[in-house]
């Protein structure tokens, strides 16, 4: 039995955006902030949002004949998402919010809802919205790289953001 057409690409992940950020980097603050007015993207490619990228330093101890490597500073990964110009409801609200955030270099709050029901909250800046094209019968697709500003954390009691204004 074949998989549904979008299974390998999006695997049921939903992405929500809301310009601005909550008062704190906690589950309660994110859920309160995202309680209303969040916009949902139609996702075509899921980006990475967990993990760190470390630089390393080396210590060369000649008498021991060993080079020791140690973790140094880290940065959060760039997360690249594929999104459509129009969201699930046919409105370009999420795209417009991301475009405004990119132009103003604002930090936005995001919620990634996995098919399993796990919700990951994080803040990020929209680095760019690049048109990736699309077929003759397709909606326009965009690549949206995000510069993560906080580490993503999983909600203990997941609440899916409300998209009503």
CATH at residue 103: 4.10.410
The distance in angstroms from the start CA to the end CA of the chain is 41
* Proportion of the chain in helix, strand, coil states, percent, rounded to 5: 15, 40, 45
Tens of pLDDT, residue by residue over 105-122, are 999 999 988 877 788 999
Q: What is the pLDDT of residue 72?
A: 86
Tell me whether residue 161 is in a domain. no
Query: Domain count of the chain?
Result: 1
Q: By residue range, what is the domain housing residue 47?
A: 7-154
Tell me whether residue 163 is in a domain. no
Tell me whether residue 165 is in a domain. no
Tell me whether residue 105 is in a domain. yes
Tell me whether residue 88 is in a domain. yes
pTM summary value:
0.80
Q: How far apart are CA 126 and CA 103, in angstroms?
A: 9
Tell me whether residue 159 is in a domain. no
Tell me whether residue 111 is in a domain. yes
Tell me whether residue 130 is in a domain. yes
Backbone angles phi, psi at 103, to 5 degrees: -65, -40
Q: What is the pLDDT of residue 44?
A: 84
Q: Is the pLDDT of residue 142 over 80?
A: yes
pLDDT band for position 3 (50/70/90)?
very low
Q: Is the pLDDT of residue 1 over 50?
A: no
Tens of pLDDT, residue by residue over 94-105, are 889 999 999 999
Q: Is the pLDDT of residue 160 over 80?
A: no
């Amino acid at each position: 039995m074949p998989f549904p057409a979008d299974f390998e690409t999006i695997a049921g992940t939903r992405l929500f955006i809301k310009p601005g950020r909550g008062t704190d980097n906690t589950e309660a603050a994110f859920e309160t902030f995202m309680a209303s007015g969040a916009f949902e993207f139609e996702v075509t490619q899921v980006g990475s949002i967990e993990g760190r990228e470390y630089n390393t330093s080396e210590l060369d101890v000649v008498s021991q004949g060993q080079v020791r490597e140690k973790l140094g500073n880290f940065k959060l990964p760039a997360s690249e998402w594929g999104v459509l110009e129009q969201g699930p409801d046919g409105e370009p609200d999420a795209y417009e919010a991301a475009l405004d955030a990119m132009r103003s270099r604002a930090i936005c709050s995001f919620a990634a809802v996995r098919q399993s029901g796990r919700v990951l909250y994080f803040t990020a800046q929209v680095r760019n919205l690049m048109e990736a094209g699309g077929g003759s019968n397709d909606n326009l697709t965009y690549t949206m790289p995000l510069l993560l500003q906080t580490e993503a954390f999983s909600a203990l009691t997941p609440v899916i953001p409300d998209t009503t204004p």
